[in-house]
Chains A and B, each alone.
Chain A
């Protein structure tokens, strides 16, 4: 195991971007307040100083404009990283990011690729109200041609960001404002990458598989600890990327545990969670002891009030209840 250093989530992302910018002159960062202000959430701290205003570019509040411009730059050979202050704001850039970037390679018959990374905060939890609390993976995972990365630790954030920048396809990199200050050991080294489509078993267990990604992985770990006291042994899988999806990892785990609870902070209808459930029902039908259970955000717009927001999101209590139900212990 190589040497590690303790980093905040935001700095792990920053280090990944900076290392890749040093390594490859085509890489650039563009977005609202990424340069002079060091990023609205201080992710790009020091990057303007190091790389200058030609490679770290502040934009007006016009997501559709700068996203489209970056896509054009990617088509012509640059490798832009585009920061959305929040993924909720990416919705005004839906046409460039969903209707153009993912289809460019296909529609141009292979003439134009689109090696671009869109990144920003995703999900509720910070009392930002309904319109700023999107978990866009529910919407965007429906679109072929996009890779979607949702890390849960600083180490994965760094390793996955580096892979994202080096990838030749559009990558949507979903961070959580609630986790940017989280600290964790991050391997040192410019070429420590985390591959896409490789889930990680965070905790091994025998009775029930918990599959999640991003912030709810931590709730799953808490729930697993809680349930262990009741004698229910949970295996926690962190998918890390949902496109590509490491369904094989979940499949192998479910063959062992016979039960699956998916924890997904997007809405349940037509979500990554429902997709995983459908695939597992198909692949593991004869291995299941119960139907796949799912814990999602409630099917309402995100509430503003703190207590309601906590109940709106998947939380440890709801996960415990789902596992007890799935394992016939409720």
Chain B
């Protein structure tokens, strides 16, 4: 399993594009790998023949695990078959030799030696257990509880009661206790439905859904963001009459070229242009320093199909301040489409400096978003809605949109946020400036 991103600790084979016996050439994409960030294509670097696929599709393995064997021209089959055997051991979910069992969030699982040994013998998936020892260490009791919950008693444990012997007796006593051995024929892994420590509510029927690595990474990063970044929000209403009119005009002109600009495209461009005056909104907190980014790369949150389990990707449009509305629009569309079908590459999701999240297409008026680290701000955009508005002391009908900026107070103060919003307001309310 290759390391396809800096933070990748394990990967899931989504699909093998080859089968055993197939000839492969260097550069050929042989598998799709789901990492913590994206689904990526995995090319091979050698010419040869696929001798064995060691990890089936759907299985998650650690980086560095052998996943396939390629027989190069001139290599003997005998030697390779020995490797097949040792390679196959690497994909065992519990590998005592390596000693590295990873929790779903990628953290190393701490296990007492005897707990590890019993888990191995009884095939208990340690990654599914909650350790009750210090620092979350999984101890014997935790494994025994898991075994009890699945109804088996481990073969090697005794259930004898303590018997006190007299202190004054003189002859050595037998130290062999009466072993009660119960053999376990049910060497099945603990299934999630039997898992101890889960939330159990009488009468509530629930089904369990396995969490994809994307969902895991969303959970991990958003908890990290919300718990470590001092968030605050600033909202503002924009009048969008002129923008809506301009958009209608442009779209009718460009319809023949298959171009349809969205309100979001204007917003993305407006955000990028606002950074020139307020560079701190385009920065990252980096502990003892703040990184002022020299590019404006705007991430656009893309929701994936709910039927497929949902999920969220942030597609990154690079150098937005130097791109026209048309380019922004087409790149955003292409990336959204790619995200929903094939998955995004590392390049597609790296290096954002600011993020825009838009629920306007669902009619949402107002919401707040969680900052996408290492960004310092994210803009949550509601719908451009026809509203009764006051213009020139007259009550009339106009388009209004509410945006809410979430900010990292370590980098951006309230007044800075308000000024940035005013700049964006000026740009969006006078949208012709976005065209130049």
Task: List chain A positions with a Cβ less than 8 A from chain B.
Answer: 1, 4, 153, 155-156, 159, 184-187, 192, 198, 200-206, 218, 221, 224-225, 228, 233-235, 249, 252-253, 256, 258, 285-290, 328
A185 to B165, CA, bound (A): 15
Q: Does B56 contact A (CB under 8 A)?
A: no
CB distance from B137 to the nearest CB of A (A): 9
Contact B170 A249 (CB under 8 A): no
User: Which stretch (B171-179, B309-317, B323-331, B359-367) binds chain A?
Assistant: B171-179
Contact B173 A200 (CB under 8 A): yes
Main secondary structure of the interface of B (DSSP, over half): loop
B162's nearest neighbour on chain A, judged by CB, is: A233
B133's nearest neighbour on chain A, judged by CB, is: A328
Contact A1 B163 (CB under 8 A): no
CB distance from B159 to the nearest CB of A (A): 8
Question: Known contacts A155-B168, A200-B172, A204-B165; can you find 15 more A-B pairs with CB under 8 A?
Answer: A156-B170, A159-B170, A186-B170, A187-B171, A192-B170, A221-B167, A224-B164, A233-B162, A253-B175, A256-B158, A258-B114, A289-B140, A290-B112, A328-B139, A328-B141
Q: Does B132 contact A (CB under 8 A)?
A: yes
CB distance from A280 to the nearest CB of B (A): 12
Contact A287 B139 (CB under 8 A): no
Q: Does B189 contact A (CB under 8 A)?
A: no
Residues in A neighbouring B116, C-beta threshold 8 A: 286
| Number of A-B residue pairs having CB atoms within 8 Å of each other in the complex | 85
Contact A203 B114 (CB under 8 A): no
Binary A-proximity of B135-165 (CB < 8 A = 1, otherwise 0): 0000111000000000000000010111111
Task: List chain B positions with a Cβ less than 8 A from chain A.
Answer: 112-117, 132-134, 139-141, 158, 160-165, 167-173, 175, 177
A287 to B117, CA, bound (A): 7
The residue among B134, B160, B170, B177 with the most chain A CB atoms within 10 A of its own CB is B170
Residues in B neighbouring A289, C-beta threshold 8 A: 112-115, 139-141
The residue that B113 contacts in the complex, of A153, A218, A286, with Cβ under 8 A, is: A286
Q: When A206-B161, A289-B140 are in contact, do A153 and B167 touch as well, CB less than 8 Å?
A: yes
A253 to B176, CA, bound (A): 9
A195's nearest neighbour on chain B, judged by CB, is: B172
A224 to B165, CA, bound (A): 12
Contact A286 B162 (CB under 8 A): no
A288 to B137, CA, bound (A): 13
CB distance from B155 to the nearest CB of A (A): 14
Q: When A206-B158, A328-B132 are in contact, do A185 and B175 touch as well, CB less than 8 Å?
A: no
Residues in A neighbouring B177, C-beta threshold 8 A: 204, 256
A153 to B115, CA, bound (A): 37
A155's nearest neighbour on chain B, judged by CB, is: B170
Residues in B neighbouring A202, C-beta threshold 8 A: 165, 167
Contact A185 B112 (CB under 8 A): no
Contact A185 B170 (CB under 8 A): yes
A285 to B117, CA, bound (A): 10
Contact A184 B168 (CB under 8 A): yes
> Can you show 8 pairs from A to B with CB atoms below 8 A apart?
A185-B168, A201-B175, A203-B165, A204-B164, A204-B175, A235-B162, A289-B113, A289-B139
The residue among A198, A218, A234, A328 with the most chain B CB atoms within 10 A of its own CB is A328
CB distance from A196 to the nearest CB of B (A): 12
Residues in B neighbouring A225, C-beta threshold 8 A: 164
CB distance from A153 to the nearest CB of B (A): 6
A272 to B150, CA, bound (A): 43
Contact B165 A187 (CB under 8 A): no
Residues in B neighbouring A153, C-beta threshold 8 A: 167-168, 170
Contact A4 B170 (CB under 8 A): yes
The residue among A198, A203, A218 with the most chain B CB atoms within 10 A of its own CB is A203
Residues in B neighbouring A185, C-beta threshold 8 A: 168-170
Residues in A neighbouring B112, C-beta threshold 8 A: 258, 288-290
A97 to B368, CA, bound (A): 82
A289 to B133, CA, bound (A): 10
Residues in A neighbouring B114, C-beta threshold 8 A: 258, 286-289
Residues in A neighbouring B169, C-beta threshold 8 A: 155, 185
Q: When A286-B116, A286-B117, A287-B117 are in contact, do A198 and B164 touch as well, CB less than 8 Å?
A: no
A159 to B171, CA, bound (A): 10
Residues in B neighbouring A253, C-beta threshold 8 A: 175
CB distance from A239 to the nearest CB of B (A): 12
Residues in A neighbouring B171, C-beta threshold 8 A: 1, 187
Residues in B neighbouring A288, C-beta threshold 8 A: 112-114
A287 to B115, CA, bound (A): 8
A187 to B172, CA, bound (A): 13
A235 to B167, CA, bound (A): 13
Q: When A201-B175, A328-B139 are in contact, do A287 and B133 touch as well, CB less than 8 Å?
A: no
Residues in A neighbouring B165, C-beta threshold 8 A: 201-204
Residues in B neighbouring A218, C-beta threshold 8 A: 167
The residue that A204 contacts in the complex, of B117, B140, B163, B170, with Cβ under 8 A, is: B163
Residues in A neighbouring B134, C-beta threshold 8 A: 328
B112's nearest neighbour on chain A, judged by CB, is: A289
**What are the nearest 5 A-B pairs in CB distance?**
A233-B162, A155-B170, A289-B140, A205-B162, A258-B114
